Amino acid sequence: MTPWLGLVVLLGSWSLGYWGAEACTCSPSHPQDAFCNSDIVIRAKVVGKKLVKEGPFGTLVYTIKQMKMYRGFTKMPHVQYIHTEASESLCGLKLEVNKYQYLLTGRVYDGKMYTGLCNFVERWDQLTLSQRKGLNYRYHLGCNCKIKSCYYLPCFVTSKNECLWTDMLSNFGYPGYQSKHYACIRQKSGYCSWYRGWAPPDKSIINATDP
């Protein structure tokens, strides 16, 4: 078993490839949970790829240009390569070369970063401003909180550490409003609750405030 195959069992996260492969099943996860449960979170551009003979169907090794690191400074301060299964049926991830910048999350095994469809991976230009701010500092503040998924009503929080995630009630399988615009952060009262912060700035100055 390759490190990534073990990771598929251990870690399920919402990603752009949720419906990407018939045999790859991933549990929905709020981006904050994906952030907090990842060893590495970076913004990067893919500049090359190659197929290596590793695992039952091979492993794709992407060469990346790291733009910014949000998590993983002690694990691997600079990432040059990311590894994923070559087969989408094993949750392998397909990325465009020399085209987009991506938000990439993953785990580290034997000094290598592994990622796949069950990780939070998204084109940078598809992230909301709130998600970008979450990556910069808000998600980190909420890593001691617990995001509790609600699939059917009624559902309730059972401790002061929980935020109730209800996106699946109306947007099952897709990122919903809480995923796109909210972080679960502990407040001064000691309770965790959803936090959005200020409204997005005018579109003409978004680039100036881009995290």
pLDDT more than 90, % of the chain: 66
Give per-residue pLDDT as tens, 115-134: 999 999 999 999 999 999 99
What is 26-127's CATH number?
2.40.50.120
Q: What is the pLDDT of residue 23?
A: 78
Q: What is the pLDDT of residue 194?
A: 95
pTM more than 0.85:
no
CA distances from 82 to 94, 103, 186, 192 (A): 12, 12, 33, 34
The Cβ of residue 1 has, within 10 Å, a number of other Cβ atoms equal to: 9
Q: How confident is the model at residue 8 (pLDDT cuts 50, 70, 90)?
A: very low
- The CATH superfamily holding the domain 128-199 is Tissue inhibitor of metalloproteinase-1. Chain B, domain 1 (3.90.370.10)
SS3 182: coil
Cα distance between residue 113 and residue 186, in whole Å: 30
Q: How confident is the model at residue 151 (pLDDT cuts 50, 70, 90)?
A: confident
Give per-residue pLDDT as tens, 83-107: 999 988 899 999 999 999 999 999 9
Indicate the range of 107-111, 143-147, 195-199 predicted with least confidence: 195-199
Among residues 46, 51, 77, 43, which one has the least CA distance to residue 63?
A: 46
Q: What is the pLDDT of residue 145?
A: 97
Q: Does 163 show up as a binding residue in the annotation?
A: no
Cα distance between residue 71 and residue 45, in whole Å: 17
The residue ranges of every structural domain in the chain are 26-127, 128-199
Residue with tokens 């617990």, as numbered in its chain: 146
The one-character DSSP state at 205 is G
Cα distance between residue 129 and residue 152, in whole Å: 29
Tokens of 150: 């609600």
Q: What is the pLDDT of residue 172?
A: 55
Adjacent-strand bridge partners of 111: none
Give the burial string for 173-211 (b: 16+ CB within 10 Å, else e). Answer: eebbebbbbbbbbbeeeeebbbbeeeeeeeeeeeeeeee
H helix runs in 11-107, sequence order: 31-36
Residue with tokens 């790829």, as numbered in its chain: 49
